Amino acid sequence: MDILSDTLAALRTGRPSVVRTDARAPWGVRFQPVSGAGFHVVVQGRCLLLPVGGEQIELGPGDVVFLRRGTDHAICDAVGSTPVAFEPDRVDRSSPLGRFAIEGAEDGARSVLVCGAYHLDVARPHPLLGDLPEVIHLPAGPGRHPALRSAVDQLCAEMHRPQPGSDSVVTALVDLLLLYILRSWYAELPGERTRGWASALNDPLIAPALKAIHDDPGHPWTVESLGSRAGLSRAAFARRFSTVVGEPPLSYLTTWRMAVAARSLRESADPLGTVAERAGYTSEFAFAKAFKRHFGAPPGAYRRERRAASPTGRS
């Protein structure tokens, strides 16, 4: 698995949810915070995104907006429209699909949005999320981000006329949408950007070391052995890695090991000793100490809390 896909898989704590929202002016919707990230796609009409503490953003047909921390925000047809709470109807509790309607004036302009949430482990954010801006706005435009546009079109078509298997199809399309949102944003970064996890993915010297860490997080990596993957001396590699990624090599190694361990605790019943070994720790005690330092809770408590929070008892 490539590094980006691997990271998203490790951070995911459940299926994404997605709601078709139909509204007639005047209208407004207030979205509560979610544990993860949120997104909106404008299918029809024009509206305003009102982030808390941020500047309003005008949205038009085809625009995609991504909120990396899923903080509370509002969307409305115009400044001054009173927002209502976002409380979608779902066929059943297990379905990721929902619908939400706001009846404004009978002759009010119609707007249609697709609103969704990615459930991610944000207890200790990975640099993938930490490097992103609070809001990513990807305006529609001729020839812009064709892969993203194609995914949006497929998602809208599936939600407009659900068919047998739509739950699985929509879930896959929403996951794909996240990858295309990130790709599109990375593609628009200034060429002179030299810092951050995203730039490391394409760095010819740092990317091989990142891949080695992701391929085998339990390996007893050292700065020297990782530097050999880059063809650099220990000192030169440490400097370049810290400059590009934003943290030292062994610090990132620990970050990734903890992400892998957290996923194992959420998704498996493996004994703590097995989880510890997979994360590169020969001592269960040392692993528990490192895990608590990273997440603020020991592994056993983390597992119980995450499973209790999951609707099905499993993430």
pLDDT tens digits along 1-42: 589 999 998 888 888 889 999 999 999 999 998 888 999 999
The whole-chain average pLDDT of the chain stands at 89
Domain ends where: 124, 153, 187? 187
> 36: which DSSP letter?
E
Cβ burial of 266 (10 Å; 0-12, 13-18, 19+) is buried
| Tally of structural domains, the chain | 2
Which residue from 206, 219, 36, 308 is spatially nearest to 297, judged by alpha carbons? Answer: 308
> Do residue 21 and residue 165 come from a single domain?
yes
314 belongs to a structural domain: no
Name the CA dihedral angle for 96, 44, 187, 200, rounded to a multiple of 10 degrees.
-30
Domain residues for the domain of 243 are 197-309
As given in the structure block, the two tokens for residue 15 are: 């299926």
Predicted confidence (pLDDT) per residue in 74-96, tens digit: 999 999 999 999 999 875 667 77
> Do residue 163 and residue 250 come from a single domain?
no
26 belongs to a structural domain: yes
> Do residue 159 and residue 202 come from a single domain?
no
Beta bridge partners of 246: none
> Do residue 204 and residue 132 come from a single domain?
no
Query: Is the torsion defined by CA of 42, 45, 46, 51 positive or negative?
Result: negative
> Do residue 138 and residue 244 come from a single domain?
no
Question: What does pTM read for this prediction?
Answer: 0.85
